[in-house]
Amino acid sequence: MQPFIYDQLPVRVLFGSGMVERIGAEAERLGIARALVLTTPGQRPLGLRVAGALGARAAGCFAGAVMHVPIAAAQAARAEALRLAADGLVAAGGGSTIGLAKAIALESGLPILALPTTYSGSEMTPIVGITEEGRKRTERHVRVLPRCVIYDPVLTLGLPAAVSGPSGMNALAHCFEALYAEAANPVTSLMAEEGIRALAAALPVVIAQPDDLAARGDAFYGAWLAGLTLSAVGMALHHKLCHVLGGRFDLPHAETHAILLPHVAAYNRRAAPSAMARAARALGAADAAAGLYALVQGLGGKVALRDIGMPEGGLDEAADLACLDPYYNPRPIERGAIRRLLQDAFEGGPPADGARIGG
Ligand code: NAD
């Protein structure tokens, strides 16, 4: 076996239906007496319920989380935490809300208790991203890692199918890239393959029967594993492309992941054969790229960047940006092939078989 380094991050996890009822006890365990509850504007009712459950331990609710944490939202939330003399943050929501909590914690060091309601996996990572002047800058800092995460599948019951599918594919993308990450090791690969298997099996049920709590629980389990892999290894070309398209063209994060992943799998197909074999096995498919595309289609999600607001005139710039400060990738970053990959994702057909982009 190859030598490896594996950092085990200190997060307490509570998993299961009804676990959210323990929030008061968990806040007390963290020494939080004045929690600022964070949500998106749409999830304010959840925030108010959570604040109610925290009782005297809640200092207020700030429903200003926005996708990709624009710097203005981060500054407003930091000011609110100061104004209320908050001594802890409760993030009730998806990656946007947890991202906002991290932006506050980055400066203040306040502890975060996360109640995820999507499958983004952000709650398991020490990664914080803030968008300023059209570019999302990310950094790793253990200070922003939530101290406690309560995965209660009941909280995902309201997640519409149109959000559940792409959000689950976002999680699956973390597992997928973990399989060929530079720092991949036997433990992360085990979690990644199991995460792909759990998500690929659960997501179609979540879409067909959104109130199936068992499937919601299985999808959450996959999302947890996805977050763990994301926290343990660096991501590759797929995440670089998603950051470029999200930061520069303001495309919706989870849909961008779902659309791009099959095409990135095709790009990396020949460069990472054992990762592709594990992913294909977990997907129950002969080819990982084709299996991913079939999964996205089966979830009824969008398959073309043109359908989520990408301007065709921006593809050249996106290819250029993808080649700037590239992340590690098993296959070298070739500008021409990346441009073709983006064209394929823009049009939304099946991923290339290898001849077109040389994957
Ligand atoms: P999101 O948090 O933006 O949520 C999407 C929409 O769904 C929002 O309008 C939200 O209010 C709504 N919503 C969320 N949960 C709901 C529920 N259970 N019921 C009803 N509505 C609900 O989306 P996301 O995909 O979870 O997060 C995306 C963001 O997270 C991006 O900015 C991305 O960069 C970031 N992210 C960060 C990391 C990290 O490690 N730092 C990891 C993954 C994603």
Q: What is the CATH number of domain 161-347?
A: 1.20.1090.10
Q: Does the beta carbon of 164 sit less than 6 angstroms from any atom of ligand 1?
A: no
Distance 357 CA to ligand 1 centre (A): 32
Q: Which positions ≥6 away from 269 have C-beta within 8 Å?
A: 276, 287, 288, 289, 354, 359
Q: What is the pLDDT of residue 357?
A: 56
CA distance 8 to 11: 9
Give 149's Cβ-side CA count (13 Å radius): 29
Q: What is the pLDDT of residue 156?
A: 96
CB 140 within 8 A of CB 245: no
Q: What is the pLDDT of residue 356?
A: 54
Domain map (residue ranges) of the chain: 12-156, 161-347
Residue with tokens 């959104």: 210
CA distance 179 to 235: 10
pLDDT digits (tens, 9 = 90+) for 123-168: 999 999 999 987 778 899 999 999 999 999 999 999 998 889 999 9
Test site for ligand 1: of 128, 144, 163, most ligand atoms within 8 A of the Cβ: 163
What is the CATH T-level fold of the domain 12-156, as seen in this structure? Rossmann fold (3.40.50)
Q: What is the pLDDT of residue 151?
A: 98
pLDDT digits (tens, 9 = 90+) for 262-310: 999 999 999 999 999 999 999 999 999 999 999 999 999 899 999 999 9
pTM of the model: 0.93
Query: How would residue 1 be classed by pLDDT, with cut points 50, 70 and 90?
Result: confident
Distance 25 CA to ligand 1 centre (A): 26
Q: Is the pLDDT of residue 120 over 80?
A: yes
Average pLDDT of the residues in 174-184? 96
Q: Which positions ≥6 away from 314 have C-beta within 8 Å?
A: 248, 249
